[in-house]
Structure 1
């Protein structure tokens, strides 16, 4: 089967793996994702079927950082999944960057939310409602 995605995986650096992994365990579970690979003391990779999103220590040993304008969006299967993602993220210590709802600038099919994880990485859950796509 040909993959509909052009991406294979993405990695983010963490300065506190012991905090980051439980955060992502809770938040990504709302979308049906779980740890696919776990490397103790280094990090882990999350996905539904294969490792797509890595959270890990930096390879060069320098502090991990965030980048202005960069964020990571996760597919949700429904608006309710987006809502659950948002609530789980806030409960796990994330900072609100945009509550769940439509964003008309992205088109009528878009429904999503934005948060900052414990280290400031901007993450999003989004549902694309094909019934509303023009």
Structure 2
């Protein structure tokens, strides 16, 4: 079974940690799902603090979404993260081994709300 989420939080965190200098990300329109109405994951919000992340400092991401159905073992997630029109992440991951543990879950993951609060170190040495 394929699980498609074009802007899933874990990939967003990875993308931010590898991106060049970022402009402020407006909370009202910072996340756009490129998926379809049949996707299992609905993204309600992603918030960053500080906004934008500061090179060499910690930042946090709060993700809220919901699953319309259960995610069984063996599910893959097709992840694409773009910033400023440039694809930063475009890969397929095993959801159950790579992403579910970040959500404090094991497969099968039940339908319902999905919340993630994650702190990361933003790498220093990025171009200004």
TM-score (normalised: structure 1)? 0.28
Higher helix share: 1
Structure number with greater CO (CA < 8 Å, separation at least 6) is 2
TM-score (normalised: structure 2)? 0.29
